[in-house]
Amino acid sequence: GAVVSQHPSRVICKSGTSVKIECRSLDFQATTMFWYRQFPKQSLMLMATSNEGSKATYEQGVEKDKFLINHASLTLSTLTVTSAHPEDSSFYICSATDRLPYEQYFGPGTRLTVT
């Protein structure tokens, strides 16, 4: 149980384009989903928290107009990186939970490369 999927697993896009990453909870209803960013050999950096049907809460320093988050249902959240630039290249990971503040289950991650 507690499986979270992400799609795509890898994406390469050109600078200036937008990319959408999907996060799905497959066997439970996720009241809350989180989006993280991870640079090589570093810890996870929380970008935003989203609850189904409401606006995402962004961490300090994360541009909400650049990283658009939609949590349209209890099993799906999307992260759209708008007007991507090479510095947005990173490993993006989502997590989901139905029992805050405790167990969070992570997706497999999405490797974004902006050329």
Partner 1 sequence: QQQVKQSPQSLIVQKGGISIINCAYENTAFDYFPWYQQFPGKGPALLIAIRPDVSEKKEGRFTISFNKSAKQFSLHIMDSQPGDSATYFCAASGAGYSTLTFGKGTMLLVSP
Name the site residues for partner 1 (rule: CB under 8 A): 4, 6, 32, 34, 41-44, 46, 49, 91, 93, 95, 100-109, 111
Residue 108: CB minimum distance to partner 1, A = 5
Please tell me the number of Cα atoms within 13 Å of 113 on its side-chain side. 5
Residue 82 or 113: the one with the smaller Cβ distance to partner 1 is: 113
Residue 110: CB minimum distance to partner 1, A = 9
Burial of 99 (0-12, 13-18, 19+ CB in 10 A): exposed
Residue 18: CB minimum distance to partner 1, A = 23
Residue 4 or 84: the one with the smaller Cβ distance to partner 1 is: 4
Residue 106: CB minimum distance to partner 1, A = 4
Closest alpha carbon to 106 in 95, 114, 115, 91: 95
Residue 52 or 109: the one with the smaller Cβ distance to partner 1 is: 109
Burial of 31 (0-12, 13-18, 19+ CB in 10 A): middle
Phi and psi at 86, nearest 5°, equal -50, -35
Residue 17 or 55: the one with the smaller Cβ distance to partner 1 is: 55
